[in-house]
Structure 1
Amino acid sequence: MANYTLEEKEGFTVLGFGTELKSDYTDYAGITKEKSDFWHEVKENGILDTLKSVATNDYIFSVNEAVNNKMMHYAGVMTDATLPEATRVIEFPKGEYVVVKAEAKTADELSQTLTGLAFGQVLPELKDVAYVGGPNATVEMGQQNGLVFGEMWIPVVRK
């Protein structure tokens, strides 16, 4: 099984700029392309830099959340600030989280790797906790030895 831990986290807020994912939730290739196109756009148009300017740390969040029966995806940062460009303030609850760690050549590859490990290997194997919805995020934490490293944070409850 993939490298993971169960960690208690304080509640935190991510300020995000988002898009609705139109692909069917089972269309992994379609969702991956939509997310990649979105991230290219937020980097090119300066929105990611604007978000980073109000961040409380250097982490870059890639958040997935169901909102009003729509699959939403956000580029975000941890902050208590607000910005007119932001489309959502995402509240992550205090509680237990499955934390999956990985590294990859690019931020896109990191996000795909973490998502595959978390939802394809870790969550299906867990017996004592379950993901029951709510926002989840891949967190790009930095670079070392030419690789991007980070974690996926998924809120869970005890079964």
Structure 2
Amino acid sequence: MSRAWIPPILVAAGAAALVAFLGATITDLDGWYRTLEQPGWAPPDYVYGMAWTAIYALVALAAVTAWRRTPTTQASDMLIGLFALNGFLNILWSLLFFRAQRPDWAMIELVALWISIVVLIVVCARYSRLAAVLLLPYLVWVSLAGALNWEVVRLNSPFG
């Protein structure tokens, strides 16, 4: 690996770790969450940590891969902004679902998160097909999370 990749990888890994840390800090699987009826097909709790770890690694790698191929500073800044917005939306979902205890609001916000991932895939594909492909597991996982979120809302409504 060339030394030119080290700083961007460290920055992307740090940003991904920060988003993961904040999301994990907000996520509380005890108390209220345990009272929610879950669909029978929900993965066991330990799967979430493994999946998110892999996804954050892939997102960081996708960000660096696409960023290194952006032709201008403006394109680079836009790409970084899209990844930052996506990270914010990722944290916001956890905040709405776990802290506000509003899976119904989280479901609405999840649509914005999902769209932000699609936009990232489309924009990254302009610069690197590999970067776009690296984001596909994230889209699949958030789609699964959306289905789970929908089922939690359906099985446990009303909230608030």
TM-score (norm 2): 0.25
More strand by share: 1
- Which structure's CA Rg is the greater one? 2
TM-score scaled by structure 1? 0.25
